Amino acid sequence: MHSLHARLLLAASLVLAGFLGATGLALDKAFRVSTEAAMQERLQSYVYALIAAADEDANGRMIPPKALPEPRFSKPDSGLYAVIASHDGSPLWQSGSLTGHDIGVTEQQKPGERSFSRLARAGMQLYALAFGVAWEDYAGTEAQYTFTVAEDSAVFEAEVDSFRSTLWRWLGGMALGLLFAQALILRWGLRPLRTVTVDLQQIEKGRTDRLEGPYPRELIGLTSSLNSLIEHSKAVQSRYRNSLDDLAHSLKTPLAILQSSHSDSSSEADVDRTLVREQVERMDEIISHQLQRAAVSGRITLAKPVPVGRVMERLARSLDKVYREKQLVVNLDLDPSVTFTGDETDLTEILGNLLDNAYKYCQHTIRASVQKDAAGIEISIEDDGRGIAAEQVDSVLQRGTRMDQSIPGQGIGLSMANEIITLYGGRLAFSASALGGTRLRVRFPDQAVIAGVTD
């Protein structure tokens, strides 16, 4: 079942069939019980009519009825039968409808008691009711009799069959109507999914660049995530294209210098080796920077959360080895529950550049913390170095700018970190540190908010 519509329709049909089937059986059972109760009451009324039609002789003893209260008692094989038996079970009287038959209804009942049962007699299925009667003559002698009335069950079964036929015919019609209504409801309810499919096809054909809607509330998360992924893909493609353009443009100058130097020389040995080395190093720096910038993943809506503290600790251990001759004191205050929803490489690039900057320029102490509040997460890195003046902040964020030329570096670390932070909707702030140097604070908005925002 690869169709949601088919699966839902099948499930709903099975539930509907089960419900209507159970309802039909319950109604059928209820009608049968009700019909049996009605027959019992009807047979009881025949008994009372027979008692009322009975007469007495001169001594007050009972004489079987001559004028029967129901014409069917007098018609042979009419389906309605009556028997009066004495206290020992011997028949005293039977209705004319029993002519030629002996149904053997001789079950005795005490006065005032009755018994209702279904019997099979003489090839017939009968419902019978036996009622006990005490008849007292004028001398005060009491005689006990049992009045039994039986009716062919064919009448009962005909009523039940008629009801059953009507019931299932109506239930079947209702089931078909409800199935048709269900199919329409499901088709209408799933229309937004088909709309999303059509809109995605329009994006594939290049006729639009995002899912515009309107969509129901339940699909807003899905469509927002898809739009974020589409925008992310476009942003990555744009970054690669721009980075390649920048790379090509940046390499023109050093290549032109090399070409000019080579053409002005009479032989390969005359080429200035120092110039070649400088230009090759510059090109390598340019290529590394452009490829790193192009590879930045950016905000990924469905990315797996990355523990920030774990990345910070790993980088700190590595930098401790690199700068072990400085004998630095590094204090880390890391909340292990803080996570970053994005690419781990991007987070490593951000923290690596900021920590490396602190390790380079600090004197003795570095302090770093990772915290989370209602607005998002905050990463703080501070040192006891010379610090960065407020008027120099814009300069240090420019690519290739270094405030201290005496320390090796390329001057692109902070610029690259700021580009990635901005790409994730974050902010990099500079302030004075209580340690005496600079405090760098990275603020990312709540990751649940980031996941729903377009790059």
> What size, in residues, is the chain?
455
CA distances from 286 to 222, 278, 290, 371 (A): 40, 12, 6, 35
Same domain? For 129 and 271 the reply is: no
Q: Could you list the residue range(s) of the whole structural domain that residue 273 is in?
A: 217-294
Whether residue 124 is found in the same domain as residue 259 = no
**70/91 same-domain check:** yes
The domain spanning residue 412 has which CATH number?
A: 3.30.565.10
Evaluate whether residue 196 is within a structural domain: no
Residue that the structure tokens 């604070």 belong to = 441
Which pLDDT score, from 0 to 100, does residue 400 have? 47
Query: Is residue 212 assigned to a domain?
Result: no
CATH code of residue 76: 3.30.450
Which amino acid is residue 322, in one-letter code?
V
Q: Looking at the domain assignment, is residue 209 inside a domain?
A: no
- SS3 of the chain: CCCHHHHHHHHHHHHHHHHHHHHHHHHHHHHHHHHHHHHHHHHHHHHHHHHHHCEECCCCCEECCCCCCCHHHCCCCCCEEEEEEECCCCEEEECHHHCCCCCCCCCCCCECCEEEEEEEECCEEEEEEEEEEEEECCCCCEEEEEEEEEEEHHHHHHHHHHHHHHHHHHHHHHHHHHHHHHHHHHHHHCHHHHHHHHHHHHHHCCCCCCCCCCCCHHHHHHHHHHHHHHHHHHHHHHHHHHHHHHHHHHHHHHHHHHHHHHHHCCCHHHCCHHHHHHHHHHHHHHHHHHHHHHCCCCCCCCCCEEEHHHHHHHHHHHHHHHCHHHCCEEEEEECCCCEEECCHHHHHHHHHHHHHHHHHHCCCEEEEEEEEECCEEEEEEEECCCCCCHHHHHHHCCCCCCCCCCCCCCCCHHHHHHHHHHHCCCEEEEEECCCCCEEEEEEEECHHHHCCCCC
Q: Which residues of the chain carry a pLDDT beneath 50?
A: 265-267, 269, 271, 400, 405-411, 448-455
At residue 437, the pLDDT reads: 87
pLDDT of residue 276: 67
pTM attached to this predicted model: 0.45
Task: Dig out the tokens for 375 from the structure.
Answer: 């607005």
Same domain, yes or no: 15 and 92: yes
Of 268, 294, 320, the residue at which a domain comes to its end is 294
User: Does residue 404 lie within any of the structural domains?
Assistant: yes
Residues 268 and 366 in one domain: no
Distance, first Cα to last Cα, the chain: 37
pLDDT for residue 451: 35
Answer yes or no: do 284 and 312 share one domain: no
Number of structural domains (the chain) is 3
Q: Show which of 262, 294, 326 is a domain's final residue.
A: 294
- Domain boundary among the residues 113, 140, 159 is at 159
14 vs 7, 8, 175, 182, 190, CA distance in Å?
Answer: 11, 10, 11, 12, 19
Q: What is the pLDDT of residues 231-271, one digit of tens each?
A: 877 777 777 766 676 666 556 556 655 655 555 544 454 54
Same domain, 232 and 117: no
Comparing C-alpha atoms, which of 236, 228, 237, 442 is closest to residue 340?
A: 442
Same structural domain, 8 and 155: yes
